[in-house]
Chain A
Amino acid sequence: NAGVTQTPKFQVLKTGQSMTLQCAQDMNHNSMYWYRQDPGMGLRLIYYSASEGTTDKGEVPNGYNVSRLNKREFSLRLESAAPSQTSVYFCASRLPSSYNEQFFGPGTRLTVL
C-alpha cells in the first residue's frame, strides 16, 4: 500500500514549455486534490475531483488543467509554464468519511526558468 504517489519528484522547465504532473492513490479514495505551496503563502488549492468523472476549480486554477483519468489517477497539466508557477505541488486524496481528512503525496518541486 503505497498511499499517494507523485511523479516526477523534481522538474525544471523553460518558460512556455508544457508538462504533466502525475498522481495516483491506491487507497480507493473517491476525492483527489492538487495544491501548490509557496513560501509565505501556505497551501492553496488548484483543482479537485470529488469523484471519478468530475473536476472543480479551487482557489488558484489559472494556468492549469486537470484530468481525472480513473479512480486512482489525477493529473495536473501546465500548458505553457510561467516563472510564477515555480512552486512545490502536492497531490492529496480524501478518506471517504464525513470529516474531510486528506492525505498527501510526497510532492513535486517545479522550477520554471
Chain B
Amino acid sequence: QKEVEQNSGPLSVPEGAIASLNCTYSDRGSQSFFWYRQYSGKSPELIMFIYSNGDKEDGRFTAQLNKASQYVSLLIRDSQPSDSATYLCAVTTAGSYQLTFGKGTKLSVIP
C-alpha cells in the first residue's frame, strides 16, 4: 500500500515569513513528486513538480527532494495571505498513470 503522509496542520505563519510544508512517502520506487494548492471550495491547482534530488525553484516557491530519506518539501518565501490554502503532496512511480495523494496541510498566513 503506497502511502503519502503530511502533517494536517493548520500551519500558521506571519506574513512575509517562510512557510515550510513537508511530505514523506513509503514507496521507494516513486519517481515524480507534485505539489498542489487547493483553496477552500475550489479544485486542486498544480504549482510545482520535482523528479531529481535537490531543489527546484519557481518564483517564491522551492520544492526540495531527498529520495534517500523519502522526503519532499515545499518552501514558500515571503508568504502572503493569498497563500492561505491546503497544500496537497502527490507522488507517482515510473510508468504509472496514477497519483497517490497525501491528505494535505492547511496553511494559514496571518497578516
Contact = CB atoms under 8 A, between A and B. Distances in A.
Nearest to A35: B101
Interface string B63-100: 00000000000000000000000001010100011110
Interface in A46-79: 48, 50, 56, 58
A107 B104 contact: no
Contacts, number: 49
Contact of A58 (B43, B98, B103): B98
Contacts of A42: 88, 101-104
Interface residues of A, number: 22
B97 A100 contact: yes
Given A41-B103, A100-B32, A100-B92, A107 B97 contact: no
Contacts of A101: 34, 46, 49
Contact of B44 (A40, A48, A99, A104): A104
A109 B104 CA distance: 19
A107 B101 CA distance: 17
A34 interface: no
Nearest to B97: A50
Interface string B20-64: 000000000000101000000011111001010000000000000
Interface string A94-106: 1000011111111
Given A31-B97, A48-B97, A100-B99, 11 more contacts: A43-B44, A43-B88, A43-B101, A44-B101, A45-B99, A50-B97, A94-B97, A100-B34, A100-B98, A104-B43, A106-B43
17 contacts: A40-B103, A41-B103, A42-B88, A42-B101, A42-B104, A43-B88, A45-B98, A56-B97, A90-B43, A99-B51, A100-B34, A100-B98, A101-B49, A102-B34, A102-B46, A104-B44, A106-B42
